[in-house]
Chain A
Amino acid sequence: MALPTAEYSRSRSTYASLRLSVLQFLADPQWLVPSMIAPVIFALVSFELFRGAGPYYLTYAILGAGMMSMWGQTLYGSGWATGQDREFGTLEPTLQAPTPYIYVVLGRVLWNVISGLIGGGIVYAVIVLVAGGPPALADPLAFALLFIFVMVTLASVGVIFAAFYVYTRYAGFIQNIGEFAFYIGTGCMFPVVLLPFVTNPISLAFPPTWALDALRYLSIPGYQGFGWGFWVDLGGAIATTLAYLSIAGLVFHRVERHVLEEGNLSQY
């Protein structure tokens, strides 16, 4: 019998990781709730603060809340999985397996993207219900596609975070403390151009900043975002996402080598 190729083994690991994530979710779907409470409340607060500001401000509330929900599912999920591996004592065996760890993480990230979409959909439904109707959108299909792309850009950040979470014992701290900073930095509820100009380079280092700006150009008439407009935003989002995924691959490779040399991975 011929040995399976490395590619086969890797895809099987990703599939197994994805399947396990789905099964764990189905066994206890209540875990979708914590990551949706904050986005729904933030959306309702923003809706109240934007009341009377104009019809397109509902889009800001929905986009921001949707992104928060995705943050919860995608970034939390991706990073937390590594922390749980460490806690359960499965991180060392997983890293010792022939399949690179990134393929295991990829399976989890794929599910987190899907569950993030589910969460985003629920948040959207709640806000539409409260507002009494959907937001005014020029091109709903393009909006939906770009919304999914925003999720992918978040997932690329999640993969990088997951790589660093292998190193750090402070994953929970980084997530909790970094949550609002990330919301501000990427302009999830308001245009990044409102922030001081000196902070813009930091914001632009994150793929969701570009993707959200593009999404607002697409959906809000007269939107005042970055001066370069929709297409450059879209190009920037794609470029930074690809850069993140490439860096994630390199970082995972180095992290794996390092922790195997150090042998202190199980110390919690």
Chain B
Amino acid sequence: MTTSTLLYRPSFWRTFWTNAVMAPRTSLGFMRVDFVIGTVFVVPLTQMVFFAFVVQLGGGGATEIAYTAVGNAVATVTYSSVFSVCQTTDSEKQQGTMEHLLVTPANRFALYFGRGLIPILVSLATVAVGLIYAVLLYGVSIPLAVLPALSISIVLMAFAMVGFGLLLGGVALYLRTSIILGNIFLFVGLLLSGVNFPLSSLPLPLQWAGDALPLTWGLAAIRAALSGESLGSIAILWGAVGLAALVSFGAAVTLWKIFERRALATGSIARF
């Protein structure tokens, strides 16, 4: 064995692209037509229609229904960005690849960020399709002038949400299973992020909890962009979404480092 073999360390970009390409086929389970059709085209439609009928039954008018339609069009992003990404930890444990992953010399940031690339793209598609449904079914207005601000808001939110999914995946490394965590954060945004009603109608502690979720800020930025608010006020929300993304990615990498050390020390954490 030569010295160069012993010192071999894959480059940042090689690790990034390998994970970007491979993870959707393996632990993410994205590379399936049924998943793409379901996540991008079916779930946004059915979730939006469901809550629109609930609002209608509760006596809500066209404005309230449009509010709910936009909220749910955006909130369905959690399926691909948070739930699926969080579940990768379980998949690695179940498939018996976690131990191999933990001993690889690959750059961790490249590894996790690479895994998030396809979920970010799927998230963008999900929100775009959801908003098209909201326009077609509930008459939500999206003037051409707001498209640039809207696009930036959606892209920033997709990054923040995938970062949050990776963070939950890091927590799940310590847990026996990530399914409970995934289920909580798949739906909690519907209550705490201003998806179906303004956040201000909730008790103060729940509003604080909502403020800790990237979906809350992402959705606020998207709503602000749709209503044609000034760039200055949207920029503040972009800053909040960007901060949420940075904190999520940073915390995810830190958590994985901590639990990796623990896993290597105890030899038991990677078991399912």
Contact = CB atoms under 8 A, between A and B. Distances in A.
Interface stretch (B116-124, B178-186, B227-235): B178-186
Interface stretch (A100-108, A138-146, A178-186): A178-186
A189 B202 CA distance: 21
A9 interface: no
A55 interface: no
A48 B191 CA distance: 9
Contacts of B55: 49
Interface string B216-230: 000000000000000
B187 A42 contact: yes
Contact of B50 (A48, A51, A189): A189
Given A173-B38, A180-B50, A181-B46, A194 B184 contact: no
A34 B46 contact: no
B30 interface: no
B53 interface: yes
A38 B197 CA distance: 17
A30 interface: yes
B57 A60 contact: yes
Closest 4 CB pairs of A and B: A180-B46, A177-B38, A190-B57, A34-B183
B190 interface: yes
6 contacts: A45-B54, A46-B54, A50-B57, A173-B32, A184-B53, A189-B50
Interface centre among B57, B201, B202 (most CB of A within 10 A): B57
B152 interface: no
Nearest to A173: B34
Contact of A194 (B56, B190, B201, B202): B56
A180 B34 contact: no
A184 B42 CA distance: 13
Contact of B180 (A30, A50, A184, A194): A30
A41 interface: yes
B62 to A, nearest CB: 15
Nearest to B32: A173
Interface string A30-58: 10011001100110111011111100010
Nearest to A50: B58
Given A49-B196, A57-B58, A190-B57, A184 B183 contact: no
A189 B120 CA distance: 32
B56 A190 contact: yes
Contact of A49 (B43, B47, B54, B183): B54
B184 A176 contact: no
A170 interface: yes
A194 B51 CA distance: 13
A44 B180 CA distance: 19
Contacts of A49: 51, 54-55, 58, 60, 196-197
Nearest to A183: B50
A249 to B, nearest CB: 29
Given A177-B42, A191-B57, 13 more contacts: A33-B183, A42-B187, A48-B191, A48-B201, A52-B59, A53-B58, A60-B57, A170-B34, A173-B34, A176-B43, A184-B50, A190-B53, A194-B57
B149 interface: no
A124 B191 CA distance: 18
Interface in B37-91: 38, 42-43, 46-47, 49-51, 53-60
Contacts of B43: 176-177, 180
B191 A41 contact: yes
B35 interface: yes
Contacts of B47: 180
A57 B57 CA distance: 9
Contact of A41 (B32, B49, B187): B187
Contacts of A52: 59
Interface in B183-212: 183-184, 186-188, 190-191, 196-197, 201-202
Contacts of B42: 177, 181
Contacts of A34: 179-180, 183
A37 B184 contact: yes
Given A46-B54, A48-B201, A37 B46 contact: no
Nearest to A54: B59
A191 B55 CA distance: 13
